[in-house]
Every structure is written in C-alpha cells, then in structure tokens.
Structure 1
C-alpha cells in the first residue's frame, strides 16, 4: 500500500517543469492576488500536491515582505480557504492604485507612425475600461484623440464624430481606403516597371551590332576562327569532320591512314 506523506515532510521538487515557471508574489507589484493564487494552485495540482495541505508551502513563493506578512499572520489561517480569503483582501491593490496605473498607461499609449488606427483604438479602449468602466463617450473620445498620430488626428478632425462606435467605423473605412490606394500604387509601379523594361529591350534591338574588323566580309577561313563555335564550324569544308589524327590531313580518319608516320606508329 502506497503511503501518503505529509506535505510538510514531502520535499518539493523545484526542478519540475510546472513549478519552474511559477513567479514569486511581490507586495510592490500590481499583480492580482487572486489570479496569482489560482495560477499557483494549478501548478501544485500538476505535480500532485493537494492545496488542502499544500497551501502551507506557498511561503516559498512569496518575496521578502510578503513572507514576513505570512510569518506574522500564519496563526490566523485555519485552512486553504481562510488563507485565500485573507491573502486576497490583504494584497489586492486598492482602487486608487489601479486607477493611477491605468491613467498612466492611457497617457503613455500613443499611436505609432505606421500603426493601424484600429489596432490603436482597441488597445486604448481596453485601458479606458480599466480606468473607468462607465466613462462618458465624450471623455473616451478625448483620450483616443490625445494619442493619435498627428496626421491621423488632422484627418479625423475633418469629420463630426460623437461616439466611439463612429470612430471605430471611421477607422475601418480609413484602413480600407489606405489598403486600396496601396494596391493601386503597387499595380501602377508594376506597369511602369514593365514599360521601362520593354523600352530598354527596344533600344537594345535598334542599336547596330558591332562587328570586329577581322570578321567583316573577308570570307577568309583564318579570319573566321574567332567567330562563335556554331558559326565557325558551319563555314568549314565538309571534309573537316574527316580529319586524320595520325597525319593531320583531311579526307580520311585515323584507321584508314596510309601515311608513312602512321605505319611506323602501328609497327607495320
């Protein structure tokens, strides 16, 4: 029968994959305490550690200040559920802190020079909702305008837009227009490139071909030796193909050679 060892006695392997990615909870961060606990509980379950008793090992994943808080208050924790409730209440960031962080993020979020307006819009709306869920439409538009790229803003101000929905539709139309213009320009560039290539080919065809002096109407066999191989061969006498490699003359091949040299070579 397999013995069940207490979590306090069972060594926790820090090299197992599920626990390698576990981050320590810091009291100075804006990390949500509830989400952090849920993530850690999932990792404990992956290495078969039950949170009913495993929660007592959570102090290993707390930074110095949070671990100090643990030592001072561990007597108040009866079980996992009581610890979870107290931990979340103690370490959840205050509303003022959340709003301050969201306000800074909204102010820092600017549209990039080549960034699509729709991408900027969706990202900025998320920050606005984090700051205030029910922010008035007019105020949301002010935040959105504050971060627009200057050329986008100049174009935007030409229209009367009174809601974020109208701004979203405007952004979609603008990007569709830009995409169409880019496609047209690409087609025009390709047509111009093709026209230049055709013109260059025509100019090359109209230029007179340079013929070296030694190839100009001489008809000489010696003068034609510098011509391309296919042209040079075509102007040779038909018997050129029957040149003897024994005596070097034309009209027969080596095995039919009757010269004195070839006889001596064959030992006749």
Structure 2
C-alpha cells in the first residue's frame, strides 16, 4: 500500500497493477480467482485469507521487512494500454509445447507482446514459465537454474527445440536473398530480420546490417551507403526516406512526360486544322478570280451525276421524244410514213 501511494496510483490503477506484482504461487492463485476480484478491497480480503499464515511467518523471520517482490515497476510513467497488454500476457499466455511447435514463430509472437507491454528482459524471464507447457515446461524445470538472462533463454530453447533443417534453409535464403523490383524497403527489411532470427536468434545487430546492405536493390544501395547507418534501425530509417524521395521524383518525371505528349498531340491537331483551313481559303480565292473554273467544276459535277448540260441535253431530249412518238404511232422506219411497218414499205429507203 505504501508503494502504491508513493507511485501516486489510484484505486482503479492499483487493481490493474496487481498481476504484474505477483509471481509463482501468488500469481497462480490470482489467475484462478481473478474472476471473483472486482476491486482492490476484494483482492486484499481474499489475498489475506490465502496467504496470511505465509506472510506472518515471513515477517517474523525477517523482522517485519518481508515483501512479495523485490522490485516494483514505476507505473506512474506506464500507459494504461501497456498495463492492459501486460495483464493480458499473464492471463492469456502464448503457449509453447515443444518440438511440435515452431520455436521461432513462438518467440516472434512473444517478443511482439512483450514489446507492447514495454517489458524489460528481467520481466520477460520472470514470467516465461507460464508460457511453457508439456515438453517445454519439463525442459524449463530442468534448466531454469542455469539460465540467468533472457538472451541465454532464447539460445537455450532454440537449441533444444529448433530444427536444424529450418536453420540451414534459412541460412541459404539469407545468403542469396535480394530485394525485388516491386518489394518495398520495409517488406525487404522484415524478411531479412526474420531470416536472421531463424539462423541465429541472438545474431549481432552489426551482422544483420551487413545482410541488409548486401541484398538491397541497386537504386537504393549507393544512397544508403552514403548515409553510413550504424544500426539496423538507422538503415531502415535512411532507406525509407530515400525510397520516398525517389518515388516522388519518378512520379514527377512521369507527369512531365505526359504533359509533353499532350502538348505534342495538341500541336499536331492544330497543324492539321490550320492546313485544312488554308486549303479551303485558297480554293475560294482562286474561284473568285476565275469564275469559269467554278462553272466548269459545277458542269463536271453535274455531268458525273447524270444531269444533261447545254445543247447536248437538248439534242438528247429531242431524240428521245422523237423515238418515243415514232414507236407510239407505229410509223415506218424506212420512209417515215405512219400506218405501216418497214417490212411492208414499197418506197425506196429515205426517199
């Protein structure tokens, strides 16, 4: 209670902080009874009922200075979200059972949750046992006394349950992996880091950086090398900025090319329109100066359309009328006299 007051925690915050302060038997008791604990007063009552004798004996043996845990996190600077995530990590562990599970995937998921809760390596190692089951838990019970750091735990559990074939395959991929044309720098970075973890969960950051520099595409490599990043995070930050700049430059160039294409197309259309206008204007002026040419053109046009013109038309009309009237009256073709046919005519031809 004094520590809560020193941190300035409200009652609501105190009950949320409780799971992070318990370990071993105390935490297991809390996990079994959390549904019945609605506020800090309820927790205090149930907790004293369960551990009163233990606390009394501990107090008497240590002169009244006994505490549940040796360190208390500073929750005054911890966000509500981080405390909520931390509570979820404890209430709903990410289980690992042994060889039947992928140890690398499990570690990745676990690290993501630990990062969201802002846990340090000491807190990770303290609560790791609740995430282990079956073969993995039995292994932990046998080796936990010799594992004192989080990095040592990662190395040990990877060696115990990691597949050598998976590790060898990841190493081959890592050696030859190159960033593809359509792959963003973030996607490339995530893939390289994933392969590095499978090859060696505790691979030094400097070695990861070398793999990142080797496989990055040529359009970025020179620019990133000039920035001389010292860490993988610095590499990603520099590469993303350069990628954004190059993307903007490419977009501007494409827009400029489109503008030039539109201008050229518009200029060509204007040239065609001006040429057609000039041709029509020239023809009109020429016809005005030479009216006979216009008449001749109209005459040729009319002739081509079957319209009779001038004397030829008159002669054609007369001939057609004469022929039709001669055929209609039955006149002789030999002498021209109506009333009989040429076969019956007794007169000489065209007399």
Same topology, TM > 0.5: no
TM-score when scaled to structure 2? 0.35
Higher relative contact order (CA 8 A, sep 6+): 1
Larger radius of gyration: 2
TM-score, normalisation: structure 1: 0.44
User: Whose helix fraction is larger, Structure 1's or Structure 2's?
Assistant: 2
